[in-house]
Chain A
Amino acid sequence: MEFGPYLFIASLEGAITAAVLALTAVGLSIVFGIMRVVNVAHGEFYMLGAVFAWWITNLIGGHPAVGFVAAVIITPVLVGVLAVIADHLILRKIDYDPERTIVATIGLLYVIQQTTLMTFGPEARPVEAPFNKRIALPWIEYGEQGLALIWPWGLSTTTYKLAVIVAAIFILLMLWLLMTRTRIGLIMRATQLDREMATAHGIPVNKVYALVFGLGAGLAALGAVLIVPIQQAHYLMGADPLLLSFIVVIIGGLGSVVGTIVAALFIGLSDGIISVFFTPTLAKIIATLAVAFVLVFRPQGMFGKPE
């Protein structure tokens, strides 16, 4: 395959990474933005999403689409409820203190990871995609008779991969509508801007925090459900999304949802392209270097506001 089509396919792979990363990182971003909690266990909620998706699809059986739809609906709710319980039992008890919550969520990370290992075992678990038709992709080439549409051999993707991108865009759009057009979104934003004044205006801040922590975890779980037919579920799979999510949230600007989405696109696409042309390790090195540059030259991130 020539360079152009090769770059196109790499970009498409990157777009899938970006789509799932955007969901996961936005979850981390709203938790930090509203609660000021650095949730080190965020990757484990992602992992739980993938493992639960495997468990639910296996439990239901039958046509893969039935189990998958059930997993898309049940898994984020289940993981969200677990996060709300963790918020109630741990974070609320330490009054959401920024330093102590870091240590507490590190502990939560290991509790979730080891409980998953003991319950579901160490094996990687596949989930069948609900549909997975391979489709050839066209490429435009300049030939003797001008521009022409060609179908290079090997330039293809699957309908499921395209559906992941569309689904992620749809979910992010719904989240944007929730935050900007609904009463609960207004309450969350007011809490983010001034916790004390929110309380003085009758907003039950602790309940908002529980909801936000559950929503953040649910988004990570939803991202994992979407990606698990491509990647498989495993109890150690939470580390990479956590690292990438932190990278994205720092580059985008702590607490900025728009910044997080833009940074997820940048990191996801570069990760996909560099992984295809070079190695995934180099992609991670470059992403980490990007964070270092941002921290040195624009510590508040691309879309963040200076403190």
Chain B
Amino acid sequence: MLEVRSIDVAYDKVQVLFNLSLRVERGSILCLVGRNGAGKTTTLKSIMGLIPVRQGSITFDQTVLTTLPPHEIPGSGIAYVPQGRRLFAELSVKQNMDIGLMASGAGQDTYSSVLEMFPKLQERLNQRAETLSGGEQQMLAMARALCMKPEVILLDEPTEGLQPSMIELIRTVILQLKSQNVAIVLVEQHVDTVIAMADSVAFIVHGRNPETISGNELRDNPDRVERYLGVE
């Protein structure tokens, strides 16, 4: 189980997260919902150790992530798919996946099973990441993370700017990961996706988490997501 306990996070003197707490179990999907600038991406980056946590702690099972150097956090089973993909643009598809494999020490079987999820990448293995279409880049960003054989995966707006068929593929992969007992933290602006997939939803407002509700509660009252996203 991944647990974020009362963390305060700041960029220099500007505090962004205030006493924020979350938790996500294996085999479940926690959606983070909030307006732009609310602190969702900062939360994910804090879990990855990319932004230091000033107070509070983040633990995964028995490991206290906040005491680890950032580069050791992926080794404890946590993978991150950032907003905007952030692929290693000049490296090939295969090399991007190799970076993921190196982090986990996983072998050829992991590589093959990831390519089975995204068969289109198989045809593009030697192509530079920057030359892929937006949808293919998103596939690669997820494939790179999955090569790390994660037990927790943090997805930051994975369906942003994608066509419906691609969104469907990403959703299918997320559900497949859930069925494999992976814990998923999903930042998502698509209300339909949140309603369809969330096991729990944490709302984030100005760096605080005023409430976390179950997926069923949300499905009974979908207006709540729209209220927190500021959608009329």
Q: Which residues of A contact B (CB under 8 A)?
A: 183, 186-187, 189-190, 193-194, 196-205
Contact = CB atoms under 8 A, between A and B. Distances in A.
Interface stretch (B18-26, B87-95, B118-126, B215-223): B87-95
A193 B74 contact: no
Contacts of B99: 186-187, 190, 198, 201, 203
Contacts of A197: 82, 86, 88
B75 interface: yes
B89 A193 contact: yes
Contacts of A183: 102
B71 A189 contact: no
A205 B75 CA distance: 15
14 contacts: A183-B102, A186-B91, A186-B99, A190-B95, A193-B88, A197-B88, A200-B50, A200-B74, A200-B82, A201-B103, A202-B74, A202-B75, A204-B69, A204-B71
A197 B89 CA distance: 11
Interface string B97-112: 0111011100000000
A307 to B, nearest CB: 14
Interface string B12-54: 0000000000000000000000000000000000001110000
Contacts of A199: 48-50, 70-71
What is the predominant secondary structure among interface residues of chain A facing chain B? helix
A183 B86 CA distance: 20
A201 B144 contact: yes
B125 to A, nearest CB: 15
6 A-B pairs closest in CB distance: A202-B103, A202-B74, A204-B71, A193-B88, A200-B80, A201-B103
B86 A202 contact: no
A197 B85 CA distance: 10
B50 A202 contact: no
